[in-house]
């Protein structure tokens, strides 16, 4: 017979709830093989292309940042679910664990950005020792930041993980729908590594169709 209260006896925990703007950020790099495969997929059935590709979580030649999904650190409020009190955000440590301006381009490749934006909500579970009281000073918020000033003009930050006293906390995140931005782009890079022109295969803010023919300019 199982003890229904076993988890409660073993764990002294609290939940911190949140509602905030946020979303997901992924940054991948495609090689020629990736690009040619996707070009063929698009030419085979362009209408179904996005149902099978570029929906987040794909594996390409290089994952510059595989992905973070969560709330933004800007304007974040954490509420103790037990007491309904707001946690003093100023007492927590904040660390940037990844930053990109999107300008680390290479020749003969495509950079792919997958960004979702909207309202997210969820909770963070903090496990305490038997007699321990919660101390917000033991919280560390690790977040990523993207500052895509060039073609994309996308800016934001997303909490990647939260630690309490050095231990990663379980974070549950949900949303009721988000806006999805996709950009697949290469660059004409000069002899002195100067960026001459962007080669845009797709940007969901500006174009409906994918310009796969431009790959001939990228993969020479």
- Domain layout of the chain by residue ranges: 11-218
For the entire predicted model, the pTM comes to 0.88
DSSP 19-63: EEEEEEEEEEEE-HHHHHHHHHHHHH-STTHHHHSSSS----SEE
Residue 133 has phi, psi (to 5 degrees) of -100, 145
- Neighbouring C-beta atoms of residue 89, cutoff 10 Å: 15
Return the sign of the alpha-carbon dihedral for residues 133, 136, 137, 142: positive
Residue 202 to residues 8, 42, 54, 103, 118, Cα–Cα distance (Å): 51, 12, 11, 17, 22
Contacting residues for 39 by C-beta, under 8 A, at least 6 apart: 212, 215
What is the pLDDT, as a whole number, of residue 193? 62
Q: Consecutive 10-residue runs of the chain (220 residues): their mean pLDDT?
A: 48 91 96 94 92 85 94 95 90 95 83 96 93 91 92 91 95 95 85 72 90 87
What is the pLDDT, as a whole number, of residue 6? 46
């Amino acid at each position: 017979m199982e003890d229904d209260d076993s988890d409660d006896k073993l764990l002294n925990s609290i939940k911190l709830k949140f509602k905030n703007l946020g979303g997901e950020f992924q940054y991948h790099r495609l090689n020629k093989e990736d690009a040619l495969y996707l070009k063929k997929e698009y030419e085979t059935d362009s209408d179904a292309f996005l149902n099978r590709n570029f929906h987040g979580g794909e594996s390409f030649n290089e994952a510059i940042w595989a992905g973070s999904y969560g709330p933004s650190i800007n304007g974040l409020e954490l509420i103790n679910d037990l007491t309904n009190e707001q946690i003093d955000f100023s007492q927590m440590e904040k660390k940037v664990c990844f930053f990109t301006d999107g300008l680390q381009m290479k020749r003969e490749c495509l950079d792919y950005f997958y960004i979702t934006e909207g309202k997210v909500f969820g909770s963070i579970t903090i496990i305490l020792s038997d007699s321990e009281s919660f101390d917000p000073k033991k919280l560390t918020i690790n977040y990523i930041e993207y500052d895509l000033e060039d073609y994309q003009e996308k800016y934001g930050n997303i909490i990647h993980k939260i630690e309490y006293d050095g231990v990663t906390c379980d974070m549950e995140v949900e949303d009721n729908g988000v806006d999805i931005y996709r950009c697949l782009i290469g660059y004409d890079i000069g002899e002195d590594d100067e960026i001459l022109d962007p080669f845009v295969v797709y940007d969901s803010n500006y174009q409906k169709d994918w310009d796969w023919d431009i790959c001939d300019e990228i993969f020479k």
